Amino acid sequence: MARGKQSECPLSSMFDVDENLSELARLQRQVQEHEALANEQIDRIKADLAVNTEPMLDTMKRLGAEIEEFLMLHKDEFEEDRTRELNFGRVGFRRATSIGVRTRINWGMVVESLKKRGLFGCVITKEAPDKTELAKLTDEELSMLGCIRRVKDKAWWETNVVKAAEEAVES
């Protein structure tokens, strides 16, 4: 064991550790209560927002549909200039292209067809090392791959929230 300046730990026994766990559990419970209250308030605010804005959103949807319908009826007026500037905004047409699959065909079948035809550039492949599988290799094999295995003891703790809650009720 390396010698050096020892840090002063405020805990000197398992009893002290247990006291800290008790305090942590109590604080976790209090935080959860505050979060629950906040979530209730947020839910009420969201409900009020939905009630207050629903008529406006419905009107906005209707107005947008009316504009789109008008534009579709007057599409021939947009052959030269695809966009028209108005006082309160712009309207027009954009070319939108999408690729879909025919009936009884799914994207998996398309991917297989692309591979068969050698069109690998049309297939997205995300490659990444599988760390679970890498962990099964020996240190020597990892080293040949340019990897290292790091092993360290990591301290952990968990609180007994139920017991802390019971004690909170008793006191």
Task: For residue range 46-81, list pLDDT tens digits in order.
Answer: 999 999 999 999 999 999 999 999 999 999 999 889
Count other C-beta atoms under 10 Å from residue 164's C-beta.
20
Q: What percent of the chain has pLDDT over 90?
A: 74
pTM of the model as a whole: 0.56
- The crossing angle, in degrees rounded to 10, of helices 161-170 and 14-73 is 110
Question: Which residue would you say has higher pLDDT here, 79 or 41?
Answer: 41
- Over range 142-166, report the average pLDDT: 85
pLDDT reported for residue 3: 53
Q: What is the pLDDT of residue 83?
A: 94
Mean pLDDT, residues 87-111? 92
Ranges of beta strands (E only) in the chain are: 83-86, 89-92
